[in-house]
C-alpha cells in the first residue's frame, strides 16, 4: 500500500492548482452526495490556493439546484455526456480528478459509462470505491478491474477492502490507499445536551439512522425491545431516515409498515419513533448527539463500508452492532460491542448491560471518540491531498492518452442519444404496430409477433442504460402480453399477424417469427428486472421451445439459439435448456456443412434477410460448447458477409437488397437495403470481436452503425434525430420515408449493442492507442 509523509505532501502542495471531484453532490439526497460535498469542502479549506470544484452526476433530466462549486453536470444515462466531460476536463488543465465510485450512480450496465470518461482523461485519476463486493458478478468484477487499470490510485476505507482488492480483484497493492470515511469534527458532550431539543429528556435513547431497507435488520431491534423495556421503561428507540428510493419504488412502504405492526404486536409501539425523512447534517448531528447507544443490526456480513457507523463512532457513541465487516474493524479493541446476526436476545442483553453500567457505557464512548479523531474531515482531506500529490509525481496508470486533443477515432465518435419517442408513438395497449405512413402509425396492417419480440428485446436491454425511464417496465409488460396472447396452446406455436381490431389472421405464424419470439423471451428471462415478468417469460419460453426441434428454417433455429444462450446465461444449470441448445447448435452446424463451398461459405443457396444472425448464433454455440469447428465456420461466414456487403468504393456498408437478394452463382441485389441487415451485422461483429479481439470487427461494426447515419451509398441518413425513428430503407432513388416498427427497432438494437460494447472494452482499446508514462 502507498504511503506518503505529511511533510513531503505539504512541501509539494503548492504545485497543485486544480482538483475536480466526480460524483453525486448535494442537494441530491444520497450518501455519496453527502460524502462528495463534505470531501470537496474539506479539501478546499485545507488547500485554499487550489481551485476545487465538482462534476455532478444527475439522475433526473433537470438536475438539481447545485451550489457554485458544481461547474459541470452529467446526465448519468447519456453516454455522450461522459466523453464531453472528459474533453472539458482535459482542456481545463485539471491536475487531478477524484472519482467517487458506486455502481448505481453511473449509467450503463452496472455503471459502465464511467469508463468512457476515465479512459479519455490525461491527468492523474484517484478513484474512491464505496462498494467492493466479495462475490461480484463477471460484469461487476470487470468494472472494478478496469477502474483500477485506469486509475493512478484506488482509495478504500477499510483494511478488508484492501484485502478484497488485492486477493479477489488482483489489483496491484502499490495502487491501493487506505483513507478512513470522513466524519464531522464535534466535541464529546453528554447526550442530555441534545435530548431536550428533541423532547427526549429523561429518556434512554437508542438510535439507528440511514436509508431504510429490509437488510438493515430493524426488526431484530424491535424484537429485543420488550426485554429492554422491562428493565428500562424509559427507553426510546429512534429510527431516523427515509425509505431507500429503490425499495420504495418496488415495495412502497411495506417494510416500514411491517415494523410499525411488529412493534404494536409486541406492545412496544410507544417506545419506537420513526422519523421518515432524509436527514441533513445539522439535524443528523442532533439525533446522534441525543443517542446513548447507537444500534446497527444489519442482517449479513457483506457491508464493507458504513458511513452511519463511522459518524456514530466518531461522535463518541457506544455502538452495539452485528459483526458485519466494517463493524468488526471499527469496533475492535473494545470500541463497541458485537452480537450475532438475528439474535435479539443477545442484543437485548448487551443494551441492558450498558444501561445498567454507565461506567462501561462511558468507557466505550471515550474509546470510540478518541479513535474517531483520525477520521475527522480535516484529516481525511489532508490524506486525499497527499494521495493526489503522490499520484501526480509517481504515475501508476500504465496507459495514458497521448494528447488532450488526439484524432477522433471510431470508438470516440459521439453516439446519438437513445430515444424512445417513436417507439412509444408506435405502441398502444395491445402492442407495437407494424407499419407507419411517414411518422404516423398505420393501423391498417395491425401488429405482428416479429416486431413485438424485437420491441421486447429493446425494452428489456434499454433498462440497463436508462434505469430512470419507468415507461420501459410498462412497455415490457405490453410486449410480453402480446407474445402470450399470440401463443396457441393447442398447437404449441405462435401466431404472427393480428389485425388492428384484434383478430388473429392465421392459426400459426412462420417458423422465423416463432424463433424470434423465443429470442425475445430468452432476453427477457435473462435481463428482466421485474420478477413477475421474468417468471412469465421463462414459463412461455419453455412451453414454446419444443416445437423448434423440428423446424427447417435456419433463421428460426438461429434466433432460438440466441434466445437459449441468453436464458442459459442467467440459468446455467438448466439441463433441459442446455440439451436443446446442443441439439439446435448441431443442427445449424450441419446445415453449414451440407452447403458450404470454397466460394460460398453459407448454409443456404440464397442470402436474404437478417443474414448475420446465423453466424452470430454459431459463434455463441461454438463459444459455449467449446467447439472450434463452429467458431471457425461462423467466423468464415461472417468474414464473407463483411466482404460482400459494401459499395463499389469499399467505403460504406451496403446491405444485400431485397429486390432480388443474392443467389449462389448470381449477383447481389443493390437495393432495397434494409435496416435489419445493419443491426444483425452489428451484433455479430461485436460477438466476433469478443472471441478474436481483432479490431477489424469493431471497425466494421461502426461502419454498419454509421450506415444509419448517412454513411451509405446515397449519403442519406435513415435515422431521424427529431422523432427517434428510423426510415424503412434505401431505395434506388432515395430513402423510404416511412418509419415502421422493424426499422426503428433495428436501429435501437444496433445502438444499444454499441452502447453496451463501449462500456466493456475501454482497457483493451486504451492499451493499443496510448503510451506509457513513467
Paired with 238 in beta bridges are 207, 273
Q: Which residue has the cell 437495403?
A: 673
Give the CA dihedral 741, 644, 554, 604, nearest 10 degrees.
140
Contact 509, 496 (CB under 8 A): yes
What integer pLDDT is reported at residue 10 of this predicted model?
Answer: 47
Q: What is the mean pLDDT of residues 604-614?
A: 97
Closest among 746, 655, 643, 83 to 409, alpha carbons compared: 83
Q: Which residues are bridge partners to 769 per DSSP?
A: none
In this structure, are strands 293-296 and 318-321 parallel, antiparallel, or unpaired? parallel
Give the integer Cα–Cα distance in Å for 15 and 390.
Answer: 12
pLDDT at 335 over 80: yes
**678-698 mean pLDDT:** 96
> pLDDT (tens digit, 9 = 90+) per residue, 532-559?
999 999 999 999 999 999 999 999 999 9
pLDDT of residue 610: 97
> How many CB atoms sit inside 10 A of residue 56's CB?
25
Q: By three-state DSSP, how is residue 310 classified?
A: helix
The pLDDT mean for the chain works out to 92
Is 482 in contact with 446 (CB distance < 8 Å)? no
Residue 565, H or E segment: helix 554-570
| pLDDT tens column, 338-354 | 999 999 999 999 999 99
The predicted structure's pLDDT at residue 12: 45
pLDDT on residue 281: 78
- One-character DSSP codes across 642-694: HHHSB-TTSSSB-PPPTTT-EETTSPPP---B-HHHHHHHHHHHHHHHHHH--
**Distance from C-alpha of 106 to C-alpha of 378, rounded to nearest angstrom:** 28
Q: Give the residue carrying C-alpha cell 437485548.
A: 348
Give the pLDDT band (50/70/90) at residue 2.
Answer: low
pLDDT of residue 385: 97
Residue 4 has pLDDT above 50, yes or no: no
pLDDT-derived band at 163, boundaries 50, 70, 90: very high
- Contact between 716 and 409 (Cβ < 8 Å): no
CA distance 73 to 81: 8
Residue 280 pLDDT: 78
Is the pLDDT assigned to residue 772 strictly greater than 50?
no
- Answer for the pair 23, 32: CB distance below 8 angstroms, yes or no: yes
Record the cell numbers describing residue 148, joined without a space: 483500477
What band does 759 get if pLDDT is binned at 50, 70 and 90?
Answer: low
pLDDT band at 706 (very low <50, low <70, confident <90, very high): very high
pLDDT at 410: 54
Mean pLDDT within 195-213: 92
Instruction: Give pLDDT, residue 399.
Output: 78
Position 14 pLDDT exceeds 60: no
Q: Under DSSP, is residue 181 helix (H, G, I), strand (E, B) or coil? A: coil
- Which residues, in sequence order, are bridge partners of residue 101? 129
Nearest residue to 291 via CA among 243, 342, 240: 240
Query: Span 189-215, mean pLDDT?
Result: 91
**Distance separating the N- and C-terminal Cα atoms of the chain:** 19
Model pLDDT, residue 114: 95
What are the Cα distances from residue 406, in Å, to 122, 695, 700, 774? Answer: 11, 19, 22, 20
pLDDT band at 761 (very low <50, low <70, confident <90, very high): low
- Asked if the model's pLDDT at residue 59 lies above 70, the reply is yes
Is residue 767 over pLDDT 60? no
Residue 415: is its pLDDT beyond 90? Answer: no
Q: Rounded CA gap, 387 and 375, in Å? A: 16
pLDDT, tens digit (0-9, with 9 covering 90-100), for 505-521? 999 999 999 999 999 99
- Scanning the structure block, which residue is given the C-alpha cell 415495495? 251
Please give the pLDDT value at position 411: 55
**Averaged pLDDT for residues 327-341:** 97
56: helix, coil or strand? strand
Report DSSP state, residue 156.
E
Is the pLDDT assigned to residue 763 strictly greater than 90?
no
- Sequential DSSP letters for 453-499: HHHHHHHHHHTTT-TT-THHHHHHHHHHHHHHHHEETTTTEE--EE-
Report residue 740 as a C-alpha cell.
Answer: 415502421
Model confidence at 11: pLDDT above 60:
no
Q: Give the number of other Cβ atoms within 10 Å of residue 112's Cβ.
A: 26
Amino acid at each position: 500500500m502507498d504511503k506518503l509523509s505529511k511533510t513531503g505532501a505539504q512541501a509539494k502542495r503548492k504545485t497543485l492548482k486544480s482538483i475536480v471531484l466526480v460524483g453525486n453532490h448535494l442537494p441530491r439526497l444520497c450518501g455519496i452526495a453527502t460524502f462528495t460535498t463534505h470531501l470537496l469542502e474539506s479539501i478546499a479549506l485545507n488547500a485554499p490556493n487550489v481551485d476545487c470544484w465538482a462534476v455532478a452526476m444527475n439522475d433526473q433530466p433537470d438536475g438539481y439546484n447545485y451550489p457554485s462549486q458544481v461547474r459541470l453536470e452529467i446526465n448519468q444515462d447519456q453516454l455522450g455526456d461522459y466523453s464531453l466531460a472528459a474533453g472539458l476536463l482535459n482542456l481545463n488543465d485539471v491536475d487531478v480528478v477524484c472519482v467517487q465510485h458506486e455502481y448505481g450512480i453511473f449509467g450503463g450496465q452496472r455503471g459502465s459509462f464511467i469508463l468512457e470518461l476515465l479512459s479519455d482523461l490525461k491527468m492523474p485519476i484517484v478513484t474512491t470505491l464505496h462498494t467492493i463486493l466479495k462475490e461480484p458478478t463477471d460484469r461487476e468484477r470487470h468494472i472494478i478491474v478496469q477502474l483500477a487499470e485506469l486509475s493512478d490510485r484506488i482509495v478504500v476505507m477499510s483494511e478488508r477492502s484492501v484485502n478484497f482488492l488485492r486477493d479477489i480483484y488482483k489489483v496491484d497493492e502499490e495502487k491501493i490507499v487506505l483513507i478512513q470515511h470522513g466524519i464531522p469534527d464535534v466535541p464529546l458532550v453528554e447526550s442530555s445536551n441534545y435530548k431536550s431539543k428533541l423532547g427526549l429528556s429523561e429518556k434512554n435513547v437508542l438510535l439507528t439512522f440511514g436509508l431504510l431497507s429490509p437488510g438493515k435488520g430493524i426488526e431484530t431491534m424491535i424484537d429485543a425491545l420488550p426485554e429492554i423495556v422491562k428493565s428500562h421503561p424509559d427507553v426510546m428507540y429512534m429510527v431516523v431516515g427515509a425509505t431507500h428510493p429503490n425499495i420504495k419504488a418496488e415495495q412502497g412502504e411495506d417494510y416500514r409498515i411491517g415494523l410499525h405492526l411488529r412493534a404494536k404486536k409486541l406492545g412496544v409501539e410507544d417506545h419506537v419513533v420513526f422519523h421518515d425523512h432524509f436527514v441533513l447534517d445539522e439535524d443528523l448531528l442532533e439525533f446522534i448527539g441525543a443517542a446513548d447507544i447507537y444500534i446497527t443490526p444489519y442482517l449479513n456480513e457483506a457491508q464493507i463500508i458504513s458511513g452511519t457507523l463511522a459518524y456514530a463512532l466518531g461522535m463518541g457513541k457506544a455502538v452495539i452492532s452485528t459483526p458485519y465487516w466494517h463493524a468488526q474493524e471499527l469496533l475492535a479493541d473494545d470500541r463497541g460491542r458485537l452480537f450475532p446476526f438475528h439474535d435479539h436476545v443477545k442484543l437485548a442483553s448487551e443494551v441492558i448491560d450498558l444501561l445498567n453500567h454507565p461506567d462501561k457505557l462511558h468507557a466505550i464512548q471515550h474509546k470510540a471518540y478518541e479513535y474517531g479523531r483520525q477520521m475527522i474531515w480535516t484529516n481525511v482531506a489532508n490524506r486525499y491531498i497527499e494521495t493526489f500529490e503522490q499520484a501526480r509525481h509517481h504515475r501508476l496508470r500504465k496507459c495514458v492518452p497521448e494528447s488532450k486533443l488526439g484524432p477522433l477515432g471510431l470508438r470516440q465518435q459521439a453516439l446519438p442519444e437513445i430515444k424512445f419517442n417513436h417507439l412509444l408513438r408506435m405502441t398502444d395497449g395491445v402492442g407495437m404496430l407494424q407499419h407507419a405512413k411517414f411518422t404516423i402509425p398505420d393501423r391498417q396492417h395491425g401488429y405482428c409477433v416479429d416486431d413485438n419480440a424485437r420491441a421486447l428485446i429493446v425494452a428489456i436491454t434499454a433498462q440497463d442504460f436508462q434505469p430512470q425511464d419507468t415507461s420501459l417496465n410498462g412497455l415490457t409488460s405490453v410486449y410480453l402480453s402480446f407474445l402470450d396472447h399470440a401463443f396457441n396452446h393447442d398447437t404449441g406455436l405462435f401466431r404472427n399477424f393480428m389485425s388492428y381490431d384484434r383478430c388473429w389472421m392465421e392459426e400459426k405464424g412462420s417458423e422465423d417469427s416463432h424463433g424470434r419470439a423465443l429470442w425475445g423471451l430468452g432476453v427477457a428471462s435473462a435481463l428482466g428486472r421485474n420478477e413477475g415478468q421474468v417468471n412469465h417469460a421463462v414459463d412461455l419460453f419453455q412451453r414454446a421451445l419444443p416445437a423448434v426441434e423440428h423446424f427447417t428454417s435456419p433463421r428460426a433455429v438461429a434466433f432460438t439459439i440466441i434466445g437459449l444462450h441468453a436464458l442459459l446465461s442467467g440459468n446455467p444449470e438448466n439441463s433441459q435448456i442446455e440439451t436443446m441448445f446442443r441439439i439446435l447448435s448441431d443442427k445449424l452446424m450441419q446445415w453449414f456443412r451440407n452447403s458450404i463451398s470454397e466460394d460460398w461459405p453459407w448454409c443456404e443457396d440464397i442470402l436474404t434477410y437478417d443474414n448475420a444472425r446465423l453466424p452470430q448464433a454459431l459463434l455463441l454455440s461454438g463459444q459455449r460448447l467449446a467447439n472450434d469447428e463452429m467458431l471457425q465456420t461462423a467466423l468464415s461466414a461472417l468474414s464473407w458477409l463483411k466482404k460482400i456487403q459494401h459499395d463499389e468504393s469499399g467505403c460504406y456498408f451496403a446491405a444485400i437488397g431485397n429486390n432480388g437478394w443474392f443467389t449462389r452463382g448470381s449477383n447481389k441485389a443493390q437495393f432495397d437495403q434494409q435496416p435489419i441487415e445493419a443491426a444483425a451485422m452489428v451484433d455479430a461483429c461485436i460477438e466476433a470481436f469478443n472471441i478474436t479481439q481483432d479490431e477489424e470487427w469493431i471497425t466494421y461494426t461502426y461502419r454498419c452503425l454509421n450506415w444509419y447515419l448517412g454513411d451509405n451509398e446515397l449519403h442519406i441518413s435513415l435515422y431521424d434525430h427529431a422523432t427517434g425513428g428510423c426510415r424503412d430503407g434505401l431505395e434506388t432513388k432515395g430513402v423510404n420515408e416511412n418509419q415502421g416498427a422493424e426499422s426503428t427497432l433495428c436501429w435501437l438494437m444496433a445502438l444499444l449493442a454499441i452502447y453496451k460494447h463501449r462500456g466493456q472494452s475501454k482497457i483493451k482499446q486504451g492499451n493499443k492507442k496510448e503510451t506509457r508514462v513513467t
